[in-house]
Structure 1
Amino acid sequence: MKFKTYSPCQSTENHLLKFNVYLSRKSANITEIRGNDTFLIPLDNSVCIQVNFAVKGVNGGWISNAHVLKFEKGCSMLKSLLGKAWKSFITTYNMNYECPIKPGVYVSSGLDISLLYNNNFPKQFFYGEYKITVTFTKSNSSKVLGCFTSTIDFVRPWED
């Protein structure tokens, strides 16, 4: 798995959960997530997380809805999905360890993306390049609270 991009997916001006982040090369072998997350509301279990995987087509365009996932109880599910990477994530942003994550501005001291590989995401995935859009909403509502995108290339082990 190779992270290629990480950014807000649209203007964050009206969002209550703002992800102002980007990838930064620290060295030839280390890439970090830098920037800040601004939460105007708590990130708690009333938040729903929707993940849409768009696969890169033969012509170079994105084909949406290759995989669509929806997670209720957003904070607890995020903690569960990140697994051992949760501690690295929380420590880097200086957030409280348990849910909910309180409103505030959380600045990344530089999260080495290799630390995110130790997670509970499915370990088998079709190889290829995906644009992943993660959208946060209130449960049973379509109002977007926040959103970010990441482009990830799932590669064969010998291609890493």
Structure 2
Amino acid sequence: MHEEMIKNSEEFCQELNIPYQVVAIVSGALNDAAAKKYDLEGWFPASNTYRELVSCSNCTDYQSRRLEIRYGQKKSEEQVKKQYCHLLNSTLTATERTICCILENYQKEDGVGIPEPLRKHMSGKEFLPFQNNPSIEGKGKKLKAWSFFPPSF
């Protein structure tokens, strides 16, 4: 199940055509809760590096012991010794980091391309052009924060 969870995140990145790598975290770098951990890292071309987008951990019974999460059955009136269940933690993706990764990987000189699977959520748009051209509008001038995305107020 643990491998299936990281596979779901891999498929998500593949659909968005985001370059990525999966890293098995060495035991010395794990916290007390995780017995095994994978990180999925997306490629950020501006900094020429991979950065974490997903963390997927097998926490065995570490968390369930603290939360008293058990499983078991009753045999007549006697209680069978209940076992602590093993827990997995994962995100499909870290939303803000993934948006940054998309922006970096799809940026062109005049705007940002929209990955194919997201176009249906963007009214079919394939490209978001930049609203201002900083090289024309005066170097050294401070641009408004909403020059790319207009304010919603």
Q: Give the structure-1-normalised TM-score.
A: 0.25
Q: Which has the higher helix share?
A: 2
**RCO higher in structure (CA 8 A, sep ≥6):** 1
- The structure with the largest alpha-carbon Rg is 2
Q: Which has the higher strand share?
A: 1
